[in-house]
Structure 1
Amino acid sequence: MKRSDKNKLPQANKLFTDREEPKKVFWNTYQIFKENIRNSQENEIKVITYYGIGGIGKSSLLKQIRRELHESIEKPLYISIDFAENTDMLSILIKMRNLLQNAYGFNFPMFDLAYYSYMEKQGYQVKKEEIQSFVSSSPILESILEFSSVLPGVGSLIAILKGIDGLSAVIRNNLDNRKRELNEIKNDEPDILIKNMPYYLACDIENNLDRQDEPLIIFLDTYESLVNELTSIGNPMDKDLWLRDEKRGLIVNIPNTIWIIAGRDKLKWEQINPDWEGSLDQHLLGSLSERDAETFLHEAGISDQTLIKEIYQLTGGVPLYLDICVDRYYSIVEKGNTPSIEDMGSNTYELISRFVKYMDDSKKALVYILSCLEDWTDDLLNGLVQKFLPALPFTTIANIKNFSFVMTENDKTYKMHQLVRNIVYSDCDKDVASKINSYVKDYYYKILTDGFI
């Protein structure tokens, strides 16, 4: 029995996110925000959270909402951050800045000045590549360096800014209204300056939103990585303070913005500060019911009723695990064997491990390589294959994208589901992982130095 075209098979994640209630919560909020903006009324702070166990479909739900934004809104205004990729505050703030600048032409004079001043006060060399790259993306910093050799942290910053003819009227007006903050940037010590970076970014975003007629949507995925209580560094309760601080946090200082947070656990912000209670709209995402799971498995082509019930007991109705069971089922069938629950494993860890273990060697090697990557493009993947798996068939590369644990939003950048990635990477040869990481580092360094980004 040959497996039918995988693209025609149902996916449990798709079945789950097609349910209307979680999306209705977002769209009701969006319409309220849009109407208030149209009527020049202030929107209250709103944080929508979708929480539940790993593999339940949180990332798929966020992806579906973004897809509907593009289908329903002519020019939707949003950015997406995944804490599975990075949890460093400054790196995330810079990524937010870059996303908004590249996609919507936002400018960030306050944040750019603060960042440059911080780097200078920390003793970083101005000619370092990462600083030069940042400067080249900032009109205000380029103007300052053209106007004077005086660095932002030295002398009268306000006087320097007034003397720069190249600054646009919009930037100049925004800075005129921020003289207190400019003096902070000039005088504050680095440890104070970096704590205020979220506030400076928020000031700039607020100024840019004055010219927008749509609310800004900020998606924050894998929130549990940011507040990981198992790490030995820092107090878990303080790790998201830069977002939720009631005075200089990012959220409270950006108007007309809907925050969408996905994570394992319900947010506990109102326990720390009761003022958050009215701003949090939290929703638990549960597993598929046994009936829905059975329907899905039938539609996927599994007819053995005993096996269907056993798969549900193994997976608990979690969409990711159901999808992997279907993938595993067909990999067994294609070898001429009859699948049983023993082939799947006795727990979800075994399910994922066995799924990879019993792949053919070339496909397995490719999956191990992908587990070393935060994400990848076709260009990066092709380079890795040419370097490490030159005999790999092109069809194998193409088929990997069809697996249920490989996710994409734009058919350009791909990533492995974090749960699967963690398990596969733990079995990956560490020497192989080191070589892959070195290749990726050199790959992005070449892109940076060649000026492609």
Structure 2
Amino acid sequence: MSISPRGCFDKNERPFVDRETYIQALREALNNLDQKDYSVLVYYGVGGIGKTSLRKELSKLLEKHKESHKNLNVIWANVDFSIESHRQMDKFLIILKNQLHEKYGVKFHLFDIGHAVYWRKVNPQLPLLKDSYSEGSIVTDLLDTFGGLVSINYRSIKSIVESAPDRFKEWALKRDEAIANIVNMEAAEIEKKLPIFWANDLADYLNFTSSSAVIFIDTYEALWESHRGQGNFNSKDKWVRDLVAELPGVLWVICGREALRWEEVDEDWNNYLEQQHIGKLPEKDAVDLLNICGVENEEIQKVILDGSKGVPYYLDLAIDTYNTIKKKRQPVPADFSGTRSEVFERFIKYLDKQEIETLKVLSAPRFWDYYLFEALVKKFNTGYPLTSFSDLGNFSFTSRNHDGKWYMHQLMKEGLQEYQARELRERVHRFIFDYYTEKLSNIDVKSVTEEHKTALMEGFYHAKVVLKTPELLKWLIASSKTFDDAALWSFLVPLYNEMLRIQEMELPPEHPDIGATLHKMAWLYKDMGRYKDALPLYQRSLEIRKKVLGLEHPDVADTLNRTAWVYFEMGDYKKAKPLYQQALEIRENMLGPEHLEVAKTLNGLAVLYRNMGKYEQALSLYLQSFEIRKKVLGSEHPDVAKTLNNMAVLYRNMGEYEKAVLLYQQALNLREKVFGSEHPEVAQTLNNMAILYRRMAKYEEAVSLCQRSLEIKENFLGPSHPSVSHALNNLAEVYKEMGKCEMAVPLCHRALEIREKTLEISHPSIAVTLNLLAGIYGSMGDYKKALLLYHQALDIRKKMLGVEHPDTAETLNDLAKLYRNTGESEKALSLCHQALDIREKVFGTEHPDVAETLNNLAEIYESIGKTEKAQLLYQQALDIRKRALGPEHPDTAKTLSSLAGICKKNKAPNFEN
């Protein structure tokens, strides 16, 4: 075996020669730090030109600079984007945090608090681990005191601060408001602000110690890996720009293959960017490097210089080759002649067979750890000793990351892949593909980890090599299902984008597989609430499928069904209905009347009819869907829970609350059993149950369910998802009915903001929030605002739902109440009679909403002195409410009290109660 330190320097000690121009740029940037608000120094050039070596040399220069400038205290840290996980903002911040703490003792208390609160909100069932936080962190103290399941709140933090040193108390006093805000934020809001917390912590340290900071980022171009030409170029590194903007006075040194284009976003960046193009190493410097490393023969030097063309990577490889040959004999010029590829081949020639075969197989993965290394060595019988695993680090082209993973220089990877037989290359990729696919088997939807995400990403990477495009799509759909079920949609979108890119390069534009991928991408966007992004993808998929598969194909029906659902979510019921009907007809004809796909369309059409106020038609369709699903899937399947939930909503709307409660509880039990207690499907049922309890006047239960539903939705879907607006709306309505209008108003405004951003301005859901907000302002006595909002809601509902829809009746009824309160009785009576006609026509005469309108009408007649008419209407409302809501319901009590008062006015000795 020839594995050993190579020559007088190993790869970590190999000298850096000259590049004085680039080094001077750093010196000047350091000296001018206090002259600019922001400083970004960029080094860019082709692969192998020496950017990473320069970055390492600049780090050493910083230490020397500190020694020669005793009054200058500089701290620094670095991150390499060649490691995929480092490109994620939260991982990036944690890596820098850990380096700065370990080297300089920088405390990131605010960031740690934010990160810990976020973790507890997102993973309430899992304990926090001390390993995630550095020694001396406030979170470490919290865990020592209260344990891993600690509730991180203002009180618990203060209890730690009280026993802390004075310096810590000063910090806590300064950041008191920030601490109080963090613990009350929702998880999604905390996640957005983590970079700000991190920046505040670093700024506190720099100010207290009068220090400067330098942050190095290497392989910057990797942020765009697999995403070239997709979307706005400058959107990929927006989070980096935002972080730089949070830290005035910090020097950022960025190394990549291209110049930054930040001035395209904001011309002011021209004032802060200094961009240095790195060209080939000058011949004098290359000769100096060779001499220092023991390659002193001038003829050999000349051959090496001709072959390397001044690219440091090839110079390093030539030095490795020289030292390897020297172990066996004296090198000669002929050992180094040829092109760059020949330089590579010469290097390989003088390695031991075990080394060559091991490097070959290790060139296939994007990275490896000991377990993958062991599996590859054993599978391909390379003969390399497992005990010599760490010796691979002696090569100039391998590097180890802080998490124990090993990486190979991209140019060496490419050379080794080309050097081996195609058959071996494919077998290695196949083995690694199988290795990661195995890790994806039997994943619990409730316990998807970062390791599972890595397995899917790496499995997909190798699948692209070993699978043909049709098989690749099948594998991706099958392997990503659990991640889809776990609501990790944003994680999956880039994989499907890459899938579509591959298909569009290799398949004709109307290939059915392209239709399938478009369909799946639309599905993900739909689940994310991005309906405007989903719709054109569904439409394109539908066009392809109709043309290729024919109008009666089940896949056409599937896309029709899902396109209908998007139109439904966008509030365009007229476009949704015919699409559902087409899908149902195709499925019944092609699959039979008891197929699960038929049940799916029946369920969707039932939801549509329910929202259109056609309850009898909706109930009939729900029952058909329920019977099919229960028969085919069994009574404990998630789709059965979905139908139970939808039927419960219908019964709630029909006023049959006891039936609704029973169905909701069945649906909730099923969904918690299948998905766990923190899934969006569970949140949906909780939200619907809260609406029911609100209608039953069980307000405390309703608030608790609303808050739990809202937290789950924000954690899983993000703070701007349309589904979050449903939970906000519902909670606001509960607070309104409890008389807590000041708590309801901001919730309503936030719900309206989300809906106006994600939906069309005439969407029925916007009308729901406008109507609710109007009611709240009316309760607060602000009739002018209320009147304007009610009319906006009424216009939308009439236009989108029709004049005889129950929601239109709701706004008419509420508007009548407002006019009664402003003394405009004639207007109030007219609107109230319109509402009563609609409700009796839609619901029949025994529904609670009919009772509400009768009660409202009675109040209007009482206000204008027509007490006998009022008494009759109060009695009708009371009879309905007693039957529908029960004698103890607040609405029943309210009508009973009003009836008693009017009877006293009318001097009626008895009334029916």
**Is residue 259 of structure 2 the alignment partner of residue 263 of structure 1?**
no
Give the letter for the 1:93 counterpart.
L
Alignment partners' CA distance in 1, 2:249 and 2:397: 34
Larger % of helix: which? 2
The aligned runs of 1:177-192 (5 Å cut-off) are 177-179=174-176, 181-182=178-179, 184-192=181-189
CA shift at 1:287, angstroms? 0.6
The aligned runs of 1:69-218 (5 Å cut-off) are 69-74=62-67, 76-85=74-83, 86-127=86-127, 131-134=129-132, 137=135, 139-144=137-142, 146=145, 151-152=151-152, 157-164=153-160, 165-179=162-176, 181-182=178-179, 184-218=181-215
CA shift at 1:417, angstroms? 3.0
Match of 2:53 among 36, 57, 60: 60
Alignment partners' CA distance in 2, 1:433 and 1:343: 36
Alignment partners' CA distance in 2, 1:174 and 1:53: 46
Please tell me whether the aligned partners of residues 17 and 60 of structure 1 are also in contact (alpha carbons under 8 angstroms). Answer: no
Alignment partners' CA distance in 2, 1:375 and 1:217: 30
Alignment partners' CA distance in 1, 2:389 and 2:154: 55
Please tell me whether the aligned partners of residues 335 and 346 of structure 2 are also in contact (alpha carbons under 8 angstroms). Answer: no
**Is residue 225 of structure 2 the alignment partner of residue 228 of structure 1?**
yes
Please tell me whether the aligned partners of residues 154 and 183 of structure 2 are also in contact (alpha carbons under 8 angstroms). Answer: no
Alignment partners' CA distance in 2, 1:337 and 1:135: 52
The aligned runs of 1:249-398 (5 Å cut-off) are 250-289=243-282, 300-301=295-296, 304=299, 308=302, 315-328=308-321, 348=341, 352=344, 355-356=347-348, 359-368=351-360, 371=363
Secondary structure in 1 aligned to 2:112? helix
Please tell me whether the aligned partners of residues 17 and 61 of structure 1 are also in contact (alpha carbons under 8 angstroms). Answer: no
CA shift at 1:15, angstroms? 7.4
Alignment partners' CA distance in 1, 2:103 and 2:285: 39
Alignment partners' CA distance in 2, 1:437 and 1:330: 37
Describe the superposition over 1:258-306 as per-residue Cα deviations: whole angstroms up to 9, x where unpaired: 111111111111121111111111101101246765786788356558x
Match of 2:239 among 238, 242, 245: 242
CA shift at 1:325, angstroms? 3.6
Give the letter for the 2:76 counterpart.
Y
CA shift at 1:79, angstroms? 1.0
- Are residues 390 and 357 of structure 1, via their aligned partners in 2, closer, same or farther at CA, if it must alter by over 3 Å? closer
Which has the larger displacement, 91-100 or 312-321? 312-321
The aligned runs of 1:19-38 (5 Å cut-off) are 19-33=19-33, 36=34
**Identical aligned pairs, as a percentage?**
27
Alignment partners' CA distance in 1, 2:6 and 2:344: 19
**Which residue matches 1:451?**
none
- Are residues 178 and 402 of structure 1, via their aligned partners in 2, closer, same or farther at CA, if it must alter by over 3 Å? closer
Alignment partners' CA distance in 2, 1:279 and 1:58: 21
Give the letter for the 1:217 counterpart.
V
Give the letter for the 1:242 counterpart.
W
Q: Which has the higher contact order (CA 8 A, sep 6+)?
A: 1
- Are residues 354 and 180 of structure 1, via their aligned partners in 2, closer, same or farther at CA, if it must alter by over 3 Å? farther
CA shift at 1:105, angstroms? 1.6
**Which residue matches 1:448?**
none
Give the letter for the 1:96 counterpart.
L
CA shift at 1:133, angstroms? 2.5
Unaligned runs of 5+ in 1: 37-41, 439-444, 446-453
Alignment partners' CA distance in 1, 2:15 and 2:134: 45
- Are residues 358 and 174 of structure 1, via their aligned partners in 2, closer, same or farther at CA, if it must alter by over 3 Å? same
Alignment partners' CA distance in 2, 1:303 and 1:435: 50
Describe the superposition over 1:72-94 as per-residue Cα deviations: whole angstroms up to 9, x where unpaired: 42575211111112211111111
TM-score normalised over the length of structure 1: 0.71
Alignment partners' CA distance in 2, 1:397 and 1:160: 46
Please tell me whether the aligned partners of residues 108 and 205 of structure 1 are also in contact (alpha carbons under 8 angstroms). Answer: yes
Secondary structure in 2 aligned to 1:73? helix
- Are residues 218 and 374 of structure 1, via their aligned partners in 2, closer, same or farther at CA, if it must alter by over 3 Å? farther
Alignment partners' CA distance in 2, 1:185 and 1:399: 46
Please tell me whether the aligned partners of residues 344 and 355 of structure 1 are also in contact (alpha carbons under 8 angstroms). Answer: no
Please tell me whether the aligned partners of residues 221 and 258 of structure 2 are also in contact (alpha carbons under 8 angstroms). Answer: yes
Alignment partners' CA distance in 1, 2:368 and 2:286: 30
Describe the superposition over 1:159-191 as per-residue Cα deviations: whole angstroms up to 9, x where unpaired: 443344234443443343345544552344433
CA shift at 1:434, angstroms? 7.5
Please tell me whether the aligned partners of residues 216 and 258 of structure 1 are also in contact (alpha carbons under 8 angstroms). Answer: yes
Please tell me whether the aligned partners of residues 325 and 344 of structure 1 are also in contact (alpha carbons under 8 angstroms). Answer: no
Question: For the pair shown, which has the larger CA radius of gyration, 1 or 2?
Answer: 2
**Which residue matches 2:873?**
none
Alignment partners' CA distance in 2, 1:51 and 1:183: 43
CA shift at 1:365, angstroms? 3.9
Secondary structure in 1 aligned to 2:396? coil
Please tell me whether the aligned partners of residues 270 and 277 of structure 1 are also in contact (alpha carbons under 8 angstroms). Answer: yes
TM-score normalised over the length of structure 2: 0.38
Alignment partners' CA distance in 1, 2:154 and 2:6: 61
CA shift at 1:254, angstroms? 2.3
CA shift at 1:407, angstroms? 5.5
Which has the larger displacement, 363-372 or 252-261? 363-372
Alignment partners' CA distance in 2, 1:72 and 1:241: 31
Which has the larger displacement, 418-427 or 21-30? 418-427
**Is residue 7 of structure 2 the alignment partner of residue 7 of structure 1?**
yes
Give the letter for the 2:316 counterpart.
D
CA shift at 1:120, angstroms? 2.3
**Which residue matches 1:449?**
none
Give the letter for the 1:215 counterpart.
S
Larger % of strand: which? 1
Give the letter for the 1:133 counterpart.
D
- Are residues 90 and 106 of structure 1, via their aligned partners in 2, closer, same or farther at CA, if it must alter by over 3 Å? same
Please tell me whether the aligned partners of residues 300 and 326 of structure 1 are also in contact (alpha carbons under 8 angstroms). Answer: yes
Alignment partners' CA distance in 2, 1:151 and 1:224: 41
